[in-house]
């Protein structure tokens, strides 16, 4: 049994394709096939269901895959122990929730480029649950995402909170003649929200369900600034991060509602595999830059 065979098997399970796995490892498809065959022969079991498209692991293959990931992590630890002090090079794949990107991404990326000029850092955005899945699948080296404070993570991942964001329920200026105090009193107005998969929307949905209420969705849109404009135009209530509301050109057109039964908060999480090797320092620097930008935004508002 060879490490190269384990690497090939993990790549195939992740890609669900021999061709894509070969491209990832810089090999030919016949070479990937030989490594898979060698691995199956060494274990004496079939790991792939070759009658399915895309390729999927057998029941035994799924168990073997998880153990292979453990082996790879231990090998990464070993490589890190003997690595020299040369600066990190190659690619750093980052995921960033859009809200975080709006506030902190430009400065964080500039800091990375200045500190590690030979490192090719790239960033892609997505909802928190999507980014987490991509980190777990090995498609991203790290991600800064918005998830509940009580979120639990897989044992293979390291996660730390970089801070907490207050969410604001907003309404068109002067729309509500009386003071709205509960979610139930918002029910008749309806909401302008991000598409399904957004953590903000999921938190609101859970709160409404707990009160026996259904979500009344008036409009679904991407982007905080567009959402605030639509709310200001009278299309419903919005739920947005307070820092982005305070930076918006629509702030003066909106009222922030104080609800007794809904005080939404969400944490900024930096999540990555427990072992990153030479990428550990760049990832930590990226996280520190994001944390610093949010602290600066809070101080600026306080001033």
DSSP string across 237-288: EEEEEHHHHHTSTTGGGEEEE-BTTB--EEEEEEEEES--GGGHHHHHHHHH
Q: Angle of helix 3-15 relative to helix 59-82, nearest 10 degrees?
A: 120
Q: Which residues, other chains included, contact 53 with Cβ-Cβ below 8 Å and sequence gap of 6+?
A: none
Domain boundaries along the sequence of the chain: 3-82, 90-149+274-302, 165-265
Q: Which residues, other chains included, contact 9 with Cβ-Cβ below 8 Å and sequence gap of 6+?
A: 35, 36, 39, 47, 64, 65, 68
On the question of a common fold for 90-149+274-302 and 165-265, the answer reads yes
Torsion angle of C-alpha atoms 72, 77, 79, 80, degrees rounded to 10: 140
H or E segment and range at residue 84: none
Q: What CATH number has the domain spanning 3-82? A: 1.10.10.10
- Chain-centroid distance, C-alpha 220: 21
| CA nearest to 153, candidates 125, 126, 133 | 133
| CA nearest to 71, candidates 151, 6, 8 | 6
Can you list the alpha helix ranges (DSSP code H) found in the chain?
Answer: 3-15, 18-25, 29-43, 59-82, 98-115, 128-136, 183-186, 199-210, 224-232, 242-246, 280-302
Enter the pTM of the model.
Answer: 0.64
pLDDT averaged per 10 residues, the chain (length 303): 90 89 89 92 90 87 90 76 66 90 90 91 88 90 88 88 90 78 88 85 88 93 90 94 87 91 89 86 93 73 47
| CA nearest to 216, candidates 204, 200, 234, 233 | 204
| pLDDT at residue 298, as a whole number | 60
| pLDDT at residue 237, as a whole number | 95
Q: How buried is residue 143: exposed, middle or buried, by Cβ count under 10 Å (0-12/13-18/19+)?
A: buried
Q: Which residues, other chains included, contact 1 with Cβ-Cβ below 8 Å and sequence gap of 6+?
A: 39, 42, 43
Q: What CATH number has the domain spanning 90-149+274-302? A: 3.40.190.10
Q: Are strands 254-257 and 157-172 parallel, antiparallel or unpaired?
A: antiparallel
| CA nearest to 137, candidates 20, 217, 221 | 20
| pLDDT at residue 303, as a whole number | 45
The C-alpha atoms of residue 138 and residue 125 are separated, in whole angstroms, by 16
| pLDDT at residue 81, as a whole number | 59
| CA nearest to 164, candidates 242, 97, 105 | 242
DSSP string across 132-158: HHHHHTTS-SEEEEEE-TT----TTEE
The CATH architecture of the domain made up of 165-265 is 3-Layer(aba) Sandwich (3.40)
């Amino acid at each position: 049994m060879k490490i190269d065979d384990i690497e090939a098997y993990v790549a195939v399970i992740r890609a669900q394709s021999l061709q894509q796995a070969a491209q990832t490892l810089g090999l030919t498809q016949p070479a990937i096939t030989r490594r898979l065959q060698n691995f199956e022969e060494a274990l004496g079991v079939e790991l792939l269901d070759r009658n399915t498209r895309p390729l999927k692991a057998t029941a035994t293959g799924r168990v073997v895959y998880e153990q292979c990931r453990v082996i790879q992590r231990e090998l990464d630890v070993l490589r890190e122990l003997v690595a020299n002090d040369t600066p990190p090079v190659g690619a750093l794949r980052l995921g960033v929730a859009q809200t975080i990107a709006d506030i902190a991404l430009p400065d964080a990326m500039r800091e990375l480029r200045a500190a590690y000029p030979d490192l090719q850092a790239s960033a892609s955005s997505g909802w928190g649950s999507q980014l987490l899945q991509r980190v777990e699948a090995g498609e991203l080296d790290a991600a800064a995402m918005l998830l509940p404070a009580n979120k639990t993570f897989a044992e293979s991942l390291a996660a730390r909170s970089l801070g907490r964001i207050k969410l604001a329920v907003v309404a068109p200026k002067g729309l509500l003649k009386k003071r709205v105090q509960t979610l139930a009193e918002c029910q008749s107005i309806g909401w302008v929200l991000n598409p399904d998969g957004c953590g903000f929307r999921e938190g609101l949905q859970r709160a409404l369900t707990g009160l026996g209420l259904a979500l009344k969705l008036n409009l679904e849109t991407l982007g905080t600034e567009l959402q605030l404009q639509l709310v200001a135009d009278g299309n419903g209530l919005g739920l947005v991060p307070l820092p982005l509301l305070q930076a918006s050109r629509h702030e003066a057109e909106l009222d922030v509602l104080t609800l007794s039964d809904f005080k939404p908060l969400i944490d900024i999480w930096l999540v990555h595999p427990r072992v990153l090797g030479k990428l550990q320092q760049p990832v930590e620097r990226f996280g520190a830059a994001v944390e610093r930008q949010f602290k600066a935004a809070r101080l600026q508002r306080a001033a």
